[in-house]
C-alpha cells in the first residue's frame, strides 16, 4: 500500500562553502548481493568517493562487505528515535546512529536555503528523486508534554530521499572530520569531496 521499495545510490559533492551538488543518483535495477556491491564499488571508482554511508538495518551483509573493502571510508548507519541529537558516531564499529526526524528536518532546511543543488539540466533523469524527496508527511507527537515534529512516509516511495540523507551523513562526517569540527570553523581543504549513500532494500 505504500508503493514499490528501491535500492538507490546518491553521490554528493561539496563546492567548498557547504553547498552540496547531486552529482549522480539512480535506482538499482537488481536486488542481488553481487549486483549491489559491484554497483557501489563502481561508484567509488567512477567518482573518487571520499566517504560512503549505507543503511545497516536493511543491508547488513552488503555494508559489512563494503567496510571490509573500503575500511573507514564506508560507514554503517542505523536509525534511533531516542537520540536527542541528529547524529552519534561509534568509532570502534565505524557506525553512526541517527535521529531520522532531526536529520531530515536539517536536510530540508538546507534545501530551503538553496544549499542542495539538483541537476536541473537532467530533470528527466532525476524526476523520480524529486518525487521521493516530496513523499514525506509530517505529524506531531508529544514527549513529556513537548510537541515534536516527526516525518512519516507517504503513499509513494521515499528511498531516494533516504539515500540522499545517507549521502548527507557521509558528507557531514567527512567535512567535520568525524563530527569534531564545529560549524563556522575554517577548513583548509575547499576542493569538492564526493560522498555516497546507499540504501539497500
Could you report the per-residue pLDDT of 19-68, keeping only the tens digit for each?
Answer: 999 999 999 999 899 999 999 999 999 999 999 999 998 888 899 999 99
- C-alpha 58/C-alpha 157 separation (Å) is 15
CA angle 198, 78, 133 (to 5 degrees): 50
Report the percentage of the chain scoring pLDDT > 70.
Answer: 87
Element housing 96 (H / E): strand 95-98
Q: Is the pLDDT of residue 173 over 80?
A: yes
Q: For position 3, what pLDDT does the model report?
A: 52
d(CA 169, CA 158): 17
**pLDDT category of residue 194 using cuts at 50, 70 and 90:** low
Residue whose C-alpha is closest to residue 148's, from 83, 88, 96? 83
Three-class secondary structure assignment of 41-60: HHHHHHHCCCEEEEECCCCH
Amino acid at each position: 500500500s505504500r508503493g514499490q521499495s528501491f535500492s538507490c545510490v546518491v553521490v554528493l559533492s561539496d563546492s567548498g562553502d557547504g553547498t552540496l551538488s547531486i552529482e549522480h543518483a539512480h535506482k538499482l535495477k537488481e536486488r542481488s548481493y553481487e549486483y549491489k556491491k559491484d554497483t557501489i564499488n563502481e561508484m567509488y571508482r567512477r567518482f573518487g568517493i571520499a566517504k560512503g554511508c549505507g543503511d545497516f538495518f536493511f543491508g547488513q551483509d552488503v555494508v559489512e562487505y563494503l567496510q571490509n573493502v573500503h575500511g573507514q571510508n564506508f560507514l554503517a548507519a542505523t536509525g534511533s528515535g531516542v537520540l536527542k541529537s541528529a547524529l552519534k558516531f561509534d568509532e570502534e564499529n565505524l557506525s553512526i546512529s541517527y535521529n531520522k526526524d532531526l536529520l531530515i528536518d536539517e536536510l530540508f532546511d538546507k534545501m530551503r536555503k538553496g544549499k542542495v543543488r539538483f541537476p536541473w539540466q537532467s530533470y528527466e533523469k532525476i524526476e523520480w528523486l524529486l518525487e521521493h524527496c516530496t513523499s514525506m508527511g509530517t505529524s506531531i507527537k508529544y514527549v513529556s508534554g513537548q510537541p515534536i515534529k516527526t516525518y512519516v512516509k507517504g503513499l509513494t516511495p521515499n528511498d531516494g530521499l533516504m539515500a540522499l540523507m545517507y549521502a548527507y551523513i557521509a558528507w557531514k562526517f567527512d567535512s567535520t572530520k568525524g563530527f569534531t569540527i564545529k560549524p563556522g570553523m575554517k577548513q583548509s581543504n575547499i576542493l569538492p569531496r564526493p560522498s555516497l549513500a546507499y540504501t539497500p532494500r
